[in-house]
Amino acid sequence: MHPPHTELDFSLKQAFGPLLALLNDPAVTDIFVNGSAGVWVDRGSGAVRVEGIEMDARVQRKIAVDLIAAGGRHLDEMNPCVDVRLVGGIRVHAVLEPISTEGSLISVRIPRARHRSFVSLVSSGLCDEVTAKWLLALVRSRKNVLISGPTGSGKTTLLAAMMGTVSSNERILTVEDVAELQIDHPHVIGLEARQSNIEGVGEITMERLVRESLRMRPDRIVLGECRGPELRILLSALNTGHDGGAGTVHASSLADVPARLEALGASAGMSTDELARQAVSAIDAVVALKQHGTGREIEAVGRLGLGSNGSLVAHELTVEKLSFEDYGLRREH
């Protein structure tokens, strides 16, 4: 794959300024401008300080404003926090003073791994062979899967790889806040949310997009990340015949998934009991990812259940006890 900056026109390259050189490093997935704290990058094992790139406050602010403008939005004192997507799927988020106490803050997410196959992820240490076969069986059997993990753990990459194994005659419809999914499949339709313009109009929410997706005859609905009220509509869809769906949720561990879903359910006006019943019925399996020094791997797999008080809980499944049969799956040798 060519470096992302080869897809940028001259004006956008100028907007990146001294940060442009970092885009040429194929290992860099994130660039951070932390105001007075300098420039940092993540090459897959955590953020480290970059030496040799010095920018004063004026230059940092100009880069932030120019990058946001390149994405069609405006960054100023009235709109000090803005997120945009640039050509090639590059995401930029910027925050200005006084919201930021350190000066101009810029976060750049660079999509390096496109169309990574499920096989290549497993080969790179994602999981053991039994777990890999179990995951593929979930997809083939049209089970609904939720992938969890902290930021940078590879949730989107794994989701895309798993959906890439779906039969070519199925229609996959993705719904994302900011389009990131790169699914290697012949029939993928994508919907992307839209923020309101400077006048405060024109917003298209994730909740609305999930509702719209149900009218587009999808064979599988894939939600890039559950972040808010759209969870109610998604769970309802998965409980009423739209099986084979998948999505991600930000949670530090498998045990943290119930609390995260409860928080999202509350934003959708769902009671704890309602959320628990809907989630247990709709989500067949949860895959929890983690990031470590040499890459990303599956930390745990499990399923949701109801606790003694009716609350949502997560039960971990060990490799030795992966319940193929309980899921109606066939264990292939």
Q: Which tokens go with 49?
A: 């300080």
Residues 97, 100, 102, 106, Cα dihedral to 10°: -90
Single out the residue of 247, 252, 253 nearest to residue 231, CA to CA: 247
Q: What is the mean pLDDT of residues 313-332?
A: 73
Average pLDDT of the chain? 87
Q: Where are the beta strands (DSSP E) in 44-144?
A: 47-49, 81-85, 91-95, 105-109
Q: pLDDT digit string (tens) for 64-122? A: 999 999 988 889 998 899 888 888 778 899 999 989 988 999 999 887 655 689 999 99
One-letter amino acid of 139:
V
- Mean pLDDT score, 44-72: 89
Judged by phi (left if over 0) then psi (alpha if -120 to 50, else beta), residue 228 lies in beta
The predicted pLDDT at position 162 comes to 95
Question: Which pLDDT value is given to residue 2?
Answer: 47
List all residues 6 or more positions away from 320 whose beta carbon is below 8 Å from its beta carbon.
none
User: Worst-scoring range by mean pLDDT, 152-156, 247-251, 325-329?
Assistant: 325-329
Taking every pair of C-alpha atoms in the chain, what is the biggest distance, in angstroms?
A: 62
H-run or E-run covering 300: strand 295-306
Does 330 score more than 90 pLDDT?
Answer: no
Q: Enumerate the CATH 3.30.450.370 domain ranges in the chain, comma separated.
A: 4-109
Rounded to the nearest 10°, the torsion over CA 235, 240, 246, 249 is 0
| Distance (Å, whole) CA 87 – CA 163 | 23
Coil, strand or helix at 256: helix
Contacts of 154 (CB under 8 A, 6+ apart): 289, 291, 296
User: Where in the chain is CATH 3.40.50.300?
Assistant: 118-321
Residues 6+ apart with CB under 8 A from 185: 163, 164, 166, 168, 172
Q: What is the pLDDT of residue 179?
A: 77
- Provide the 10 A C-beta neighbour count for residue 10: 7
As given in the structure block, the two tokens for residue 306 are: 């109801």
Predicted pLDDT of residue 313: 95
pLDDT tens, residue by residue, 214-225: 899 999 999 988
Q: What is the DSSP letter of 50?
A: P
pLDDT category, 288, cuts 50, 70, 90?
very high
**More confident of the two residues 170 and 322:** 170
The pLDDT assigned to 305 comes to 94
User: Can you give the pLDDT at residue 181?
Assistant: 85
- CATH class of the domain defined by 118-321: alpha beta
CATH number of 4-109: 3.30.450.370
Determine how β-strand 285-292 pairs with β-strand 295-306.
antiparallel
Q: Per mean pLDDT, which range of 93-102, 173-182, 219-228, 296-305 is the poorest? A: 173-182
Q: How far is C-alpha 166 from the geometric centre of its chain's CA atoms?
A: 19
Work out the angle between the directed axes of helices 230-238 and 206-213 (0-180°, nearest 10). 20
- At 242-277, the pLDDT tens digits run 899 999 999 999 999 999 999 999 998 999 999 999
Is the pLDDT confidence value at 285 over 80? Answer: yes
Q: Which two tokens mark 328?
A: 């109606």
Distance CA 101, CA 118 (A): 42
**Alpha carbon distance, N-terminus to C-terminus of the chain:** 34
DSSP letter (8 states) at residue 226: -
Name which of 38-42, 88-92, 153-157, 300-304 the model is least confident about.
88-92
